[in-house]
Amino acid sequence: MFTEINKKNLSDEVASQIINRIMSGALIPGEKLPPEREVSEKMNVNRHTLREALRKLESLGLLSVRQGDGIYIKDYRDSGNLELLKHILYLKKDKTTDVFKDILELRRVISPEMAEKAALKRTESDIEAFHQILGSDKSLIEKDIAIHQIIAKAGNNILYIFILNFFNDIFKDFGQLYFKIEENKKVTAKFHIEISKAVIAGDAKSARKIMNDVIVYAEKKILNYLENNDDKI
């Protein structure tokens, strides 16, 4: 099928280039960058364009900018955030498998917790949301995202929602592959029914187990794919 073309601003390209320099170690933490005027000239972009890139890098925790002083590289291990990880995934293809493993591991820790909390805290509107999505004619992948979102929301912890956004962002390209496999589709459809039932019933222990099982299942499939680097998930 057709896949969206990824257009980029000049400032995003500038940002990517600098991220690469930092992640590859060409720019060392503590190091001072040349003045904006000089950097922009060397990169052959306008100073404003560079500045927009710098703002982005600042919010990724990669550098700090001080008026009258200069631009300093920060140690991303001290100040980096999850957003940065997305960029690492896109820019450093060789790290993809390692980072994916880390993300899957975190997901295995958090998702069951989310499900348990959802069963304990769900409200009438959450239950209504489950019924609505299960009865809808949306695609399996859309349903899957929706179900997880309802669970995160029902858990009533805003961090769960944001972390789920992160997972969704990371795995959105993967979903296509994963849901091509018939077995995975069956497992997922069954999961939707069971987790909904458990959360609606307020059965926290079951909700945790059901979530854990499906996460472990998917993790195994994804890891298998990553290690063999073929089209099977």
Which of 90/180 has CB closer to a second copy?
90
Q: Nearest distance from residue 29's CB to DNA, in Å?
A: 17
Which of 24, 26, 31, 48 is in the footprint of DNA by CB under 7 A? 48
Q: Nearest distance from residue 61's CB to DNA, in Å?
A: 16
* Start-to-end Cα distance in the chain: 19
Torsion of CA 40, 43, 48, 49, to 10 degrees: -160
The one-letter amino acid code at 25 reads G
Strand spans (E) along the chain: 32-33, 63-66, 70-73
Exposed/middle/buried for residue 113 (C-beta within 10 Å: 0-12, 13-18, 19+) = middle
Residue 66: helix, strand or coil by DSSP? strand
143 touches DNA by CB under 7 A: no
Cα 14 to Cα 63: distance, rounded to the nearest angstrom: 14
Which of 82/177 has CB closer to a second copy?
82
Which of 90/162 has CB closer to a second copy?
162
Which of 77/135 has CB closer to a second copy?
77
Footprint on this chain of a second copy (rule: CB under 8 A): 11, 48, 51-52, 55-56, 59-61, 77-85, 98-99, 102-103, 105-106, 109-110, 113, 149, 153, 157-163, 165-166
| Sign of the alpha-carbon torsion through 219, 224, 226, 231 | negative
61 touches DNA by CB under 7 A: no
In the list DNA, a second copy, none, the entry touching 49 (Cβ below 5 to 8 angstroms by class) is: DNA
Which of 1, 7, 94, 231 is in the footprint of DNA by CB under 7 A? 7
For 201, residues 6+ apart whose C-beta sits below 8 A from its C-beta are 119
Residue 230: helix, strand or coil by DSSP? coil
The one-letter amino acid code at 215 reads I
Which of 18, 45, 154, 215 is in the footprint of DNA by CB under 7 A? 45
Phi first, then psi, for residue 33 (nearest 5°) are -80, 155
Which of 9/81 has CB closer to DNA?
9
Q: Nearest distance from residue 59's CB to a second copy, in Å?
A: 5
Residues that bind DNA (CB under 7 A): 7, 9-11, 33, 35-37, 44-49, 51-52, 54, 65-71
